[in-house]
Structures are given as structure tokens and as C-alpha cells.
Copies of this chain bind each other. A is one copy, B any other.
Amino acid sequence: MAWDPAFESAFHPQAVAIVGASASGASRSTTRGGANFIRAYQQIGFPGRIYPVNPHAEEVLGRRAFPSVSTIPEPVDYVIVSVPAPEVPAVLEDCARAGAKNVHVYTAGFRESGAPEGVELERRIAEIARRERLRLVGPNSMGLCYVPRSRMSIFPGVSPEPGEVAFLSQSGGHCLQFIQYARGLGVRFSKVISYGNGIILDSTDFLEYLAKDPETRVLCVYVEGVRDGRRLLELVKATNPVKPVVLWKGGLTQSSARAAASHTGSLAGEARVWDAFFKQTGALAVYALDDMADLAMTLVCNMIPPRGRRAAIVLSGGGYSVLAADTCAREGLEVPEFTPETQRALREFIPPAGNSIRNPVDAEAAVRNADLFLRALELAAADPVVDLVIVSLHLDMLRQVGEDNLRRMGQNLVRFARENPYGKSVAAILDSWGGDPVVQKERSRLLEELPRAGVPVFRNLLRASRSLAKLAEYYAFLRKAQGTLDVPD
């Protein structure tokens, strides 16, 4: 199905119908059943009209119920279908009669069940949807599950706050997990979409929409199977240079492909086909939710794009230096030895005993003096062998030196981030043991101010180096694709 501007009405509905909401508000379970959708919309204050559809009830959750979609007195922008699978075809016919084009089928029990009845039912609803030109989301999906501008969130208790990241996911469970996890990193969403079996609207349709969506700046995508691989490739290739596409392909192993077949009825495809896909598109490949969230967080905070993989690391602790260098190398960054000039300049204020000035900078002496620390950062950033600067601080350690030291270190870090005199990418890790309110307050402040100054804050050095290596690869791909040569010698 081609991209359709009328699709907008699905994301920003004035009137929604929920088919299969039971009279008592009770349902098979707390997360299933149409009544839960109504409840979720009510909880967050969805501003549009909500129409329960149930031929056996007068009222559902305090709202008048209608026997069918076609009996609702106004055109409906978005229909959620939550009736048993065998009843879905009749509901779709009714939607068609009512002129309701945007239909989300929540119900499962189709191709993914593996049962012949399910396969046949899926064939039938696809046929109806095609004939009636329904923009069908699903079946076996959570639908357009989180649209902040419309105050739509189907997850009870998860209030939609607007942001610039879209998450497009074949899995509904991943949507909730991802929203919850990424929010902890400060990531907010433009749209979150779960499309399940994707028999009419597939990853490509949503991708095309999101590529043009002015609210979306970064695309995160979880796919299990793809119907039109060629189209996906062309779309990602075209979108990725403008809006980065972080793509997580599930089902690359034999057992997970089996799980994908049971989950969304997908044929998960071979690993080497996907290798070729990533090589050609330059999309950012991830294998887990936390990696995806880290990249989204980094991409929205406007970090200066790394010009290469050569990292300077400024931290405190000898063992940690060794670990940091090992971790960076393992995740694909380089930790080059500083030039003799940089080493000489660092040696002036970092004493030899138990410290290092070669990279990583073990700046134990400097973390007791905020001005020396700032100087160490500047020297590291100034070195021509360095593309990016990773600074790791243990806030409780700074606090042990003194509350004033903690605060001034933070101020200098923010200052360095803002001024960034050498235009290098900068990332931070802010360790703390928790518990100390002074430390927690300073940490919260830095977690706000640093990303605003273009500095992503990672949970640890592993996460930082993994994301930064991935980003270096992404920008190298873009530079190569664009034929520009602004890579430093």
C-alpha cells in the first residue's frame, strides 16, 4: 500500500471506536480486551471521542455502546478491533460499510498460530482489507500505541510525552519495554507503532510515513520478517542520511527464527542477507533494546559527529584505565597514544606516581582540582590524533574530596561541553553509588545540562564505546556515500 496522507487521521484521530469492549469492563485479562484500551485512553486524558462497540451492551465504562461501527453517528478516524479471531472478518466488513479506513486489529490467532484455521482467517481479512482499501494495522499487534501529540497511549500508566524518536516495532512487548527503558535515558517519542503480522501495512509503509513525518528525527525499527525486502532496502537507504535509522533485526538465529514464526508469523531470513542489507544502507545495526536506546539518546542530543574512531579517555584509576582501553578496543574504537606535546603538557600537572598521561589519562590528581581537570580535557581534545573524548567521573569520589569540588568539576565539564574549542565529539559517564543526596542532585543536573550541550551520558564505558563506534561507522558511511573527504589525516 502506497503512502497516503489520509493516514494522518489514524495518528491524530478525533473519534475512535473500540470493538469488543465488554459491558462490565472486565476482560479476559488485564492487558487484553477492548475495555483496557478505553481505560488507557481515559487515564491519560485522550481529547477525542471514544465509542465502545458491543452489540450486547448498552454502556461500557460509563460510555454509550454501539452495536456496530456503522451505527456510530459520526465518521470514525481509528478503529481498534479486539474480538475473537473468527469474528474479525465481519467487523472489517462493517468498518468498510461505515467508511472507517484506519483499522487496527489487536486480536491474535492468525498465521502466527501455525494452525490451518489461523492461516485461512488471515488470508480472508487480507482479502477484505485489500478490496475495501482499509489501512489495516496488524493483526496480532498493539497498533499505533503511543502518539504523544494526540495523547494516545495504550499502556496504562505510561503518559505520552513528545520527543523526536519514532519506534516502529513488529513486537508490542518491545514497545512498552523500549519506552520504559529509553525514558530513563531521557529519550522521548514522536510515535510508537506496533504492527504485528503486518499483512497490509508493513514496516515499509510506516517507514515511508515516518521518513516524511516532521515530528520524527530519529528512526528506531524492530523487524522480524519483511514482505518486500527490496523496498525496505531502498527506503532505508534514502532515509538514513537524513534521519538515522537504527535497525534491530530479530530472528537471525535458528531458534529465534522459530520464535519469530510463532510470534508474528514471519519468515525471518538469513543472517548474510541482512549483513548485505546493512552494508548497502548504512543503517545502524543493533541486537538489543539497550543498544538501540543508547543510540537514540546519542542521536537526539546533537553530539558533534565523530570524525573517526580514535578516542581519548579521561578518567581516574589505573585498573579502570586498563579496562577502559580494553573495552574500547573490543567495541571498535581506537585509543591512540597522545603526541609527545600533549604528554609533556599533561605531565606538568599530573604527577607520575600511579597515573598515566599517555591515554587513557588517569587524571586522579586532576579530579581533585576542577581547573586542572578542565585543562586535561582541553589538552586531550586538542591532540590531532583524537576524534572523540570520553570522560568518566565517579561523582561520589569527587564528593569525597569536597562538595565544592563536585560542583566545580560539574561546572567545568558543562563549560567544556559548551565551548568544545576543538570541535571534537564528547561523551560522558557519571558513576555514582546512589544514596548520597548531594551527589544525586548534581547528577540530575548534569544529566539535564550535558545532553543539552551535545554530550550524551552513558551508563558505563562499555555502553559508551559501543554506541560511539557505531556512530563513527555511521558517519564514515555517510561521508563515503556523499563523496566528501572531510576526514582528518
Whether B171 and A251, one on each chain, are in contact in the complex, defined by CB atoms closer than 8 angstroms, is no
A321 within 8 A of B: yes
**Which residues in chain A, 53-84, are within 8 Å of chain B measured between CB atoms?**
none
A85 within 8 A of B: yes
If the complex has contacts A29-B401, A112-B354, A352-B118, are A172 and B319 also in contact, measured as CB distance less than 8 A? yes
Whether A140 and B354, one on each chain, are in contact in the complex, defined by CB atoms closer than 8 angstroms, is yes
Most chain B beta-carbon neighbours within 10 Å: one of A250, A259, A352, A358: A259
Q: How far is the CA of A252 from the CA of B329 in the complex (A)?
A: 9
A122 within 8 A of B: no
**Which residues in chain A, 154-182, are within 8 Å of chain B measured between CB atoms?**
169-174, 177, 180
Residue from B112, B113, B322, B334 in contact with A250 in the complex, judged by beta carbons closer than 8 Å: B322
If the complex has contacts A108-B354, A354-B108, are A327 and B288 also in contact, measured as CB distance less than 8 A? yes
Over the window 336-375 of chain A, the binary record of Cβ atoms lying under 8 Å from chain B Cβ atoms (1 yes, 0 no) is: 1100000000000000111110111010000010000000
If the complex has contacts A30-B400, A330-B253, A330-B287, are A259 and B353 also in contact, measured as CB distance less than 8 A? no
Q: How far is the CA of A319 from the CA of B224 in the complex (A)?
A: 9
Q: What's the nearest-Cβ distance from chain B to residue A53, in Å?
A: 21
A289 within 8 A of B: yes
Chain B positions within 8 Å of A112 at CB level? 318, 354
Whether B318 and A255, one on each chain, are in contact in the complex, defined by CB atoms closer than 8 angstroms, is no
The size class of the interface chain A forms with chain B is: 35 or more
Whether B337 and A258, one on each chain, are in contact in the complex, defined by CB atoms closer than 8 angstroms, is yes
Among listed A143-151, A200-208, A260-268, interface-contacting one: A260-268
Most chain B beta-carbon neighbours within 10 Å: one of A222, A329, A330, A356: A356
Which residue of the partner chain B has the closest CB to A322?
B250
A326 within 8 A of B: yes
A186 within 8 A of B: no
Q: How far is the CA of A353 from the CA of B323 in the complex (A)?
A: 47
Which residue of the partner chain B has the closest CB to A222?
B319
Whether A114 and B352, one on each chain, are in contact in the complex, defined by CB atoms closer than 8 angstroms, is yes
A283 within 8 A of B: no
Q: How far is the CA of A110 from the CA of B213 in the complex (A)?
A: 61
Q: How many copies does the complex hold?
A: 2
A485 within 8 A of B: no
Most chain B beta-carbon neighbours within 10 Å: one of A114, A254, A326: A326
A478 within 8 A of B: no
Which residue of the partner chain B has the closest CB to A113?
B352
Whether B325 and A259, one on each chain, are in contact in the complex, defined by CB atoms closer than 8 angstroms, is yes
Q: What's the nearest-Cβ distance from chain B to residue A484, in Å?
A: 29
Q: How far is the CA of A30 from the CA of B140 in the complex (A)?
A: 59
Q: How far is the CA of A314 from the CA of B31 in the complex (A)?
A: 19
A256 within 8 A of B: yes
Whether B250 and A462, one on each chain, are in contact in the complex, defined by CB atoms closer than 8 angstroms, is no
Whether B108 and A326, one on each chain, are in contact in the complex, defined by CB atoms closer than 8 angstroms, is no
Q: What's the nearest-Cβ distance from chain B to residue A410, in Å?
A: 18
A320 within 8 A of B: yes
A95 within 8 A of B: no
Chain B positions within 8 Å of A174 at CB level? 319-320, 323
Chain B positions within 8 Å of A423 at CB level? none
A25 within 8 A of B: no
Q: What's the nearest-Cβ distance from chain B to residue A29, in Å?
A: 6
Whether B171 and A318, one on each chain, are in contact in the complex, defined by CB atoms closer than 8 angstroms, is yes
A241 within 8 A of B: no
Q: What's the nearest-Cβ distance from chain B to residue A182, in Å?
A: 13
Whether B109 and A319, one on each chain, are in contact in the complex, defined by CB atoms closer than 8 angstroms, is no
A91 within 8 A of B: no
Which residue of the partner chain B has the closest CB to A318?
B263
Whether A259 and B171, one on each chain, are in contact in the complex, defined by CB atoms closer than 8 angstroms, is no
Whether B336 and A255, one on each chain, are in contact in the complex, defined by CB atoms closer than 8 angstroms, is yes
A273 within 8 A of B: no
Chain B positions within 8 Å of A255 at CB level? 325, 328-329, 334-337, 359-360
Whether B323 and A30, one on each chain, are in contact in the complex, defined by CB atoms closer than 8 angstroms, is no
Whether A256 and B352, one on each chain, are in contact in the complex, defined by CB atoms closer than 8 angstroms, is no
Residue from B253, B260, B318, B400 in contact with A329 in the complex, judged by beta carbons closer than 8 Å: B253
The 6 closest A-B pairs by CB, nearest first: A171-B319, A263-B318, A256-B325, A108-B354, A262-B356, A109-B353
List residues of A whose CB falls within 8 A of some B CB: 29-31, 85, 107-109, 112-115, 118, 140, 169-174, 177, 180, 222, 224, 250-256, 258-260, 262-264, 287-289, 317-330, 334-337, 352-356, 358-360, 362, 368, 397, 400-401, 433, 462
Can you list 11 contacts pairing A with B, beta carbon distance less than 8 Å?
A30-B400, A31-B397, A140-B354, A170-B319, A224-B322, A250-B322, A250-B323, A253-B330, A256-B324, A256-B335, A263-B321
Beyond A171-B322, A251-B326, A255-B334, 5 extra complex contacts between A and B, CB < 8 Å = A115-B352, A177-B320, A259-B318, A262-B358, A263-B356
